[in-house]
Amino acid sequence: MKTADADSDAKSGEEGAAMQPYRLMALNNAWANARLYGALRGLSAAAFTAARPGFFPSLAATLNHIHEVDLYYLDALERGGAGRAVYDRPEIDDPAALGALQADADLRLAQFCRALDPAALAETRKTERADGAVTERVDALLLHLFQHQIHHRGQAHVQVQHAGIAPPQLDEFYLDYDRHPTAAPYHG
């Protein structure tokens, strides 16, 4: 015979499992950014802002774009109210300074995902767009944000190589088989 506590534990376990992909994607994002910025240690501002092949004209432009879009979606998810004003900031041309700001944003995203439950995923948030506000579900916003980060980090990867730096492996996070040693702390 099942007890109310057993039913509650089972439900809690199912909910936790349902939230785990979002939490892991946020942690993977933080780890991948840390690896990428780690590869940039010692890179001068001139090399960071130099013309590189890609959708954005430099490594600085690509990584600033990732950061400011993260800020935009974090603001929407956290109901911060800044909206498109997050884009009203100067481009950062120091990779260490931008890396520190990105790490702060990554921590905010990981904390947001850690607090998720099924009800929170189904909630909606308003996103301020150039042509007006659009209401989106939290789960869709998160999935879009993760995809955006991966997409542009891939472009940055090519730009890092163009700068003469060996690009770090960024996909050895989830599997036990080939998990990079630096990913272990992100798994608890």
pLDDT value at position 16? 77
pLDDT value at position 23? 97
The mean pLDDT of 167-180, rounded to a whole number, is: 94
SS3 content of the chain, % helix, strand, coil (to 5): 65, 5, 30
pLDDT per residue as tens digits for the range 111-159: 999 999 999 999 999 999 999 999 999 999 999 999 999 999 999 999 9
pLDDT level of residue 8 (50, 70, 90 thresholds): very low
How far apart (Å, rounded) are the C-alpha atoms in residues 159 and 165? 9
Is residue 109 a contact partner of residue 93, using CB atoms and an 8 Å limit?
A: no
pLDDT per residue as tens digits for the range 35-57: 999 999 999 999 999 999 999 99
Higher pLDDT, 6 or 45: 45
Percent of the chain with pLDDT over 90: 90
pLDDT value at position 12? 59
pLDDT at 74 over 70: yes
At residue 40, what is the residue type? Answer: L
Q: Going by C-beta distance under 8 Å and a sequence separation of 6 or more, which residues neighbour residue 154? A: none
Is residue 25 a contact partner of residue 113, using CB atoms and an 8 Å limit?
A: yes
pLDDT at 32 over 80: yes
How far apart (Å, rounded) are the C-alpha atoms in residues 82 and 80? 6
pLDDT level of residue 10 (50, 70, 90 thresholds): very low
The mean pLDDT of 176-185, rounded to a whole number, is: 94
pLDDT value at position 2? 52
Phi and psi at residue 123, to the nearest 5°: -65, 165
